[in-house]
Chains A and B, each alone.
Chain A
Amino acid sequence: METHTTLNTLRQRFMAGEISSKDIVVSYLDRIERLNPRLNALTHVDAEEALRQADLADDALVSDPESKGKPLLGMPIVVKDNIAQLGQPLTCASKMLSQFVAPYDATVIEKCRQAGAVLMGRANLDEFAMGSSTEHSSCGATCNPWEEQYIPGGSSGGSAAAVTADLCAAALGSDTGGSIRQPASFCGCVGLKPSYGRVSRYGLTAFASSLDQIGPLSRDVRDAATMLGVIAGHDGLDSTSVRKDTEDFTSELGREIKGLKVGLPREYFVDGLSPEVKSAVTEAVAQFESLGAEISEVSLPHTEYAIATYYIICTAEASANLARFDGIRYGLRVDGNDPLQMYSKTRGAGFGSEVKRRVILGTYVLSSGYYDAYYLRAQKVRTLIRKDFQDAFQKVDLLLTPTVAAPAFRMGEKSKDPLQMYLTDIFTIASNLVGNCGISLPCGFSKEPRLPIGLQLMGRPFEETTLLRAAHAFEQATEWHRMRPD
């Protein structure tokens, strides 16, 4: 089987009877066996189950005429290991859950199953999705498929590396502050963060509930649109899920973008941007212009406060969400002389260093006497940041920025300095604070070493169709998405 085939091409060939799902799955399992020991992108692979699902897909194609309409029939998908999949490990890359087996399917998993997907394995992440490098994992770090001494980004680093190294047709990740878009940028694939409320989080291990969103990582924009079509939709099991009609997100792919208004936020093009990123993004802007987009400068004046706002809100919410890990109902238990000691010992032994730091910081900003000064104030600044975006989206249809200020960094380079690690999230966190949709797609490479550079587009909440149309137009006019690490 030809490698690095997009999900949609693979699907066409499968539907045409040129290749069976079993052949596809066998070919991926073979690649996983060869490449995963080095990359450590997947934490668990259930080959037997994958082959069983592939057989079902092959049978369905012959016997069930309705199966032709299933968008993922027979297609191998991997899932970030913080999304529950019945009967499979759900470790969240934490010692706390090293033995946990999910007793139910997340809504997105149920939807993938209905669409006919073959759920092949679990993808590595930073523990509980807290991190920007996939170094903070109880399963060990994931490598960047382009350069193994470099990080793949995070927290969905396993999903991004798996797509880029062609260990699956597409992957699911979660994005709380850039955790889909930043690894997509560092690995050179497409990563889509849907609008807040677009995709149900039922079955996603909660990190920061007002920011978390599940989304796809894929080889191209069309695949991202297909995946979004599968997982989107209102769900009564997630009270933040919004009632929106199901859309065909591929409907506008291929439509021209003449006259589309694209804004460049002034505050995102500042000193500190790596020269290679700057020049790649500048060329991307020129490409958009030549495709007929109207480029203008806009301002998001509170950008400089976004990181501080984000790290107060996300740690506060994390400290509340992770209170459930108390050693009683599931996960690790370390005995103590009394329940309080048991909680403390369990959490001390079960959580890794980044999770501990965030739980403590979150506890601090919510604690009596500090709540108003930190948490409440951050929520107010969040309103200001939101207003910045509302104002900008009055003038333009989309915002165009780098996804990250520099290409991937070396393993270990920032793991000793949390603040430096946090600062890398500057361009991605605002869309989580605001709830709009965002996508990262490849737009160039650094020279030495050769590492991908990502372009970020952000759209108004629930305007994924426009976002994907613009991303697709750029992608099809360039060759970046065809570059492969091997």
Chain B
Amino acid sequence: MPILTRAVGWRDTKHVSFCGIETRGSSRCLLAFNGQNPLIQVSGRLGGVPLIERHGDEGSGLFPLAESERLLQCCCMSKTDFDIHYTAKLARLELSPEEEETFGRQIAQVIDYVEQLQQLDVSGIEPTAHPVDLSNVTRSDITGPSLTNEEALSNAPAKANGLFMVPKIVE
């Protein structure tokens, strides 16, 4: 059985699925498994190490369905705790159940990919917010022409009396 160094798992009503990274010496392989059809996929490079391309059900990349519960448990230990429902709520973004399922899986893959930054030692390194060294750029405090009330409201979805109309906020 391959050693999964990092993995994410998820489950829906029919399937147990995961993707993980198998380490073999200095090379790594990204594995994906959807509970029914074992899939082994490449993903270019990961963490700077070229991934080995492997296909179909050959070799030790194949995980029988019976193994999936155990693998999922192992995955869950290192699984990112990304919660799509909660994060979408923070972002004020309504998602359909299908979107939650698809985006949840896709974003979890991206999060797994960006995890590689954890390998770097960044102690003592200053963060870069901006490529040029400018700070506190201000303009002179003088009035000048700007959008008229009419122009500012020209794209408003609802307006009245020269104001934006919004839903009732207080009872």
Contact flags A100-116 to B (C-beta < 8 A → 1, else 0): 11011000000000000
Secondary structure of the A contact surface, majority rule: helix
Interface string of A61-105 (1 = CB under 8 A from B): 000000000000000000000000000000000000001110110
From A134-142, A167-175, A345-353, A468-476, the one touching the partner chain is A345-353
Would B134 and A242 count as touching, CB distance under 8 A? yes
A423 contact from B44, B99, B129, Cβ within 8 A: B44
Q: Which residues 295-326 in A have Cβ within 8 Å of B in the complex?
A: 302, 304-305, 307-309, 311-312, 319, 323, 326
B110 sits at the interface (CB 8 A): yes
Contact in complex: B122, A361 (CB < 8 Å): no
Decide yes or no: A339 and B129 within 8 Å by CB, A319-B91, A359-B91 being known contacts: no
Which B residues from 38 to 72 make CB contacts under 8 A with A? Answer: 43-45, 47-48, 50
B12 at the interface (CB under 8 A from A): no
Q: How many angstroms between the C-alpha atoms of A373 and B54 in the bound complex?
A: 32
Q: Judge if A28 is at the interface, Cβ distance under 8 Å.
A: no
Known: A101-B154, A328-B164, A382-B127. A361 touches B111 (CB 8 A): yes
Interface residue? A327 (CB, 8 A): yes
Q: Which of B100-134 contact A (CB under 8 A)?
A: 103, 106-107, 109-111, 113-118, 120, 122, 125-132, 134
Q: Which residues of chain B from 124 to 155 have any CB-CB distance to chain A below 8 Å in the complex? A: 125-132, 134, 137, 139, 147, 151-152, 154-155
Known A308-B116, A333-B158, A376-B127: A339·B91 in contact at CB below 8 Å: no
Which chain A residues in 413-439 approach chain B with CB under 8 Å? 417-420, 422-423, 433-435
- Residues of B within 8 Å of A336, CB to CB, are 167
A378 touches B117 (CB 8 A): yes
Q: Is the CB of A351 within 8 A of B93?
A: yes
- On whether A103 and B45 interact (CB within 8 A), knowing A353-B99, A386-B131, the answer reads no
Contacts of A384 in B (CB 8 A): 120, 122, 125
The answer to the question of A338 belonging to the interface, with a C-beta cut-off of 8 Å to chain B, is yes
Query: Any chain B CB within 8 A of the CB of A447?
Result: no
Query: Chain B residues near A101 (CB, 8 Å)?
Result: 154-155
Once bound together, how far apart are the Cα atoms of A236 and B113, in whole Å?
39
Cα–Cα distance between A252 and B120 once the two chains are bound (Å): 42
Query: Quick check: B114 and A312 within 8 Å, CB to CB?
Result: yes
Residues of B within 8 A of A362 (CB): 91
B126 touches A380 (CB 8 A): yes
Does A332 sit within 8 A of B, measured CB to CB? yes
Q: Which single member of A330, A349, A357 contacts B107 (CB below 8 Å)?
A: A357
Taking a contact as CB atoms under 8 Å apart, the answer to whether A420 and B139 are in contact is no
**A236 contacts B48, CB within 8 Å?**
no
Residues of A contacting B152 in the complex (Cβ-Cβ under 8 angstroms): 103
B157 touches A308 (CB 8 A): no
A192 to B99, CA, bound (A): 36
Closest chain A residue, CB of each to CB of B122: A380
Given the known inter-chain contacts A361-B110, A419-B106, please indicate yes or no for A330 contacting B48, CB distance below 8 A. Answer: no
Contact of B127 among A304, A380, A417, A433 (CB under 8 A): A380
B103 A103 Cβ-Cβ under 8 A: no
Q: CA A331 – CA B96 in complex, angstroms?
A: 21
Say yes or no: B103 contacts A356, CB within 8 Å.
yes
| Cβ-defined contact, A435 with B132, below 8 A | yes
Question: Cβ of B157 and Cβ of A356 under 8 Å apart?
Answer: no
CB of A190, distance to nearest CB on chain B (Å): 23
Query: Is there contact, CB below 8 Å, between A311 and B131?
Result: no
Contact assessment for B91 and A381 in the assembled complex, using a CB-CB cutoff below 8 Å = no
Cross-chain contact of A330 among B87, B110, B125, B155 (Cβ < 8 A): B155
The docked-state distance in angstroms from the alpha carbon of A475 to that of B155 is 45
Q: Does A343 contact B (CB under 8 A)?
A: yes
Q: Is A290 interfacial (CB-CB < 8 Å)?
A: no
Residue B156 interfacial (CB < 8 Å): yes
Q: Specify which chain A residues have a CB less than 8 angstroms from the CB of B117 in the assembled complex.
A: 305, 308-309, 312, 374, 377-378, 381
Known contacts A342-B167, A344-B94, A359-B91; is-contact A304 B48 (Cβ 8 Å): yes
| Known contacts A336-B167, A380-B126; 5 further A-B pairs (Cβ under 8 A) | A270-B45, A319-B91, A330-B157, A360-B93, A364-B87
15 A–B contact pairs at CB < 8 A?
Answer: A196-B131, A240-B137, A326-B92, A329-B164, A339-B169, A347-B94, A357-B107, A374-B114, A380-B122, A380-B125, A381-B125, A384-B122, A417-B106, A418-B109, A433-B128
